[in-house]
Amino acid sequence: MSFPEPERSRVRRWLAEEDPVRLLELWTRADQIRAMTVGHQVHLRGLVEISNHCVRSCRYCGLGSFNRDLPRYRMTLEEILECARRAQELGMGTVVLQAGEDLELTGEIVARTIRAIKTETSLAVTLSLGERSPEDLGTWRDAGADRYLLRFETSDQRLYRGIHPARGTDKVGRMDLLNRLRDLGYEVGSGVMVGLPGQSTESLVRDLEIFEELDLDMIGIGPYVPHPRTPLGNERGQEDALMGVLSPCERVLLTMKMVALARISCPEANIPATTALSTIDPDSLAVCLSRGANVVMPNLTPLEARFRYEVYPGMARTEEVEEGSISDLADLLAKSGRSLGVGAGGRTRRRFPCRDAVG
Ligand code: 5AD
C-alpha cells in the first residue's frame, strides 16, 4: 500500500519545509488528530533495561558485541519484579522489558518473569528483546505478554543492510517477525531512527507508508545519536558519513515532523516522545507531546545498570523516577489540558476510523 501520489508529494514537502509559520499548520493538525483519537491522556510506560548483553553488532548501537569495554549485566527475576512493583506504585499501567539480543535470557526465563509480573501486578507487559525465534515469541505471548516493540529502523534496504549485519542464523527478517507478532495476538510496535547518515527523504516517506501498512499499534521515532564507540559513530565512521549528516537540531526537527506525520497517517497509534529526542534536546518532551505524541517512557532501571545501557551517549539520566517527578510531569501536562493516563493504555480501535490525508 503506497500513499496516492498527491499525498506522497505533500509528505515530501512537509519533510523539506523550513518555514516555522507553515510548520505550525502541521503541528496543529497532528495535535488536533491526537486529541480526537487517543485523547488527552498521556500514558506512562515504565522502562526496565533488563540486560545489556547483545549477540548483534549493529553499527549504530553502543550495546553491539564489538564494544568490549562495556561491562555487561543481566538483572535477576527478583530485581525485575521489584522494578515492576515500583511502576505499579507510581501509578503506571505498563512495564516495558527491554534488552539487547541476549540469548541467555532464554524463552523460559523470560516467560517466568512475565508470569511473575502478571501474578503480582495488574500491569500490561511490553517486550522489546530484539529479533527472537517465533517459538520464544509464542511462549512469551502464552505467558501473558501483551505487546512487543521491534523497530525496522529504516525502510531503505541498502542502508539497513549496511548498518545491521545479519546473524548467520537469521531466517526471518524484522518485517516477517512483525507480521508473526501480529498473528500471535500481540499489540505491535515498530519505528525508525531519523537522521541516519545517507538516509533519504524518499525513504522516510516510505517509512510512513509502512507504519500504515503494518497498522502499527505503537510507533517509536527517534533521532539517530552517534556513539563514538560504534563503527558508524566513531571518528572514521563520522568522516565517511560526512556527506549525509544532519546537525542535532535538524535531526530533532525532522524527528518531530515524522512524529506529526505518523500521527496523521496512523491516528490511533500510541506514539512516545522518545528518550533519544530528550537526550538531544531536553525541552523536546513537552513539544513532542503537542505535535502528535501521547506516551512517555520513564526509566525505572536501577542506576548502576542504567549507566551500562548506553545505546547512545547521554541516554542514561541520573534522576530516579519518583512520586515527585511524576507529579511535576502531571503539572506540566495540566498546563496544556492533558493528564496522566489511567489504566494500561493499549490501542483502542475506533468504530469509524478517521484516516485523514496529510494536508
Ligand atoms: N541513536 C539513536 N537510536 C538508537 N538506537 C540504537 N542505536 C541508536 C543510536 N545510536 C535505537 C534503535 C533501536 C532502539 C532500541 O534504539 O532504533 O531499535
Is there an atom of ligand 1 within 6 Å of 60 CB?
Answer: yes
Radius of gyration of the chain (CA): 19
Closest Cα to atom 16, ligand 1: which residue?
Answer: 311
Measured distance CA(277)–CA(251) in Å, rounded: 9
- Ligand 1 center–CA 311 separation, angstroms: 6
* pLDDT at residue 219, as a whole number: 98
Q: What is the pLDDT of residue 66?
A: 96
If one counts every other C-beta atom within 10 angstroms of the C-beta of residue 239, the result is 9
Place of cell 486529541: 35
CA of 120 to the centre of ligand 1 (A): 31
**pLDDT of amino acid 245:** 79
Residue 206's region, left for phi above 0, alpha for psi from -120 to 50, else beta, is alpha
- Counting from 1 in the atom list of ligand 1, the atom nearest the Cα of 233 is 10
**What is the pLDDT at residue 236?**
77
Per-residue pLDDT of the chain (359 residues; tens, 9 = 90+): 688 888 899 999 999 999 999 999 999 999 999 999 999 999 999 999 999 999 999 999 999 999 999 999 999 999 999 999 999 999 999 999 999 999 999 999 999 999 999 999 999 999 999 999 999 999 999 999 999 999 999 999 999 999 999 887 666 889 999 999 999 999 999 999 999 999 999 999 999 999 999 999 999 999 999 999 999 998 777 776 666 679 999 999 999 999 999 999 999 999 999 999 999 999 999 999 999 999 999 999 999 999 999 999 988 887 888 888 999 999 999 999 999 999 999 999 876 655 565 65
State whether residue 158 is helix, strand or coil. helix
Cell digits of residue 46: 515504565
Nearest alpha carbon, ligand 1 atom 2: 224
Name beta bridge partners: 124: 94
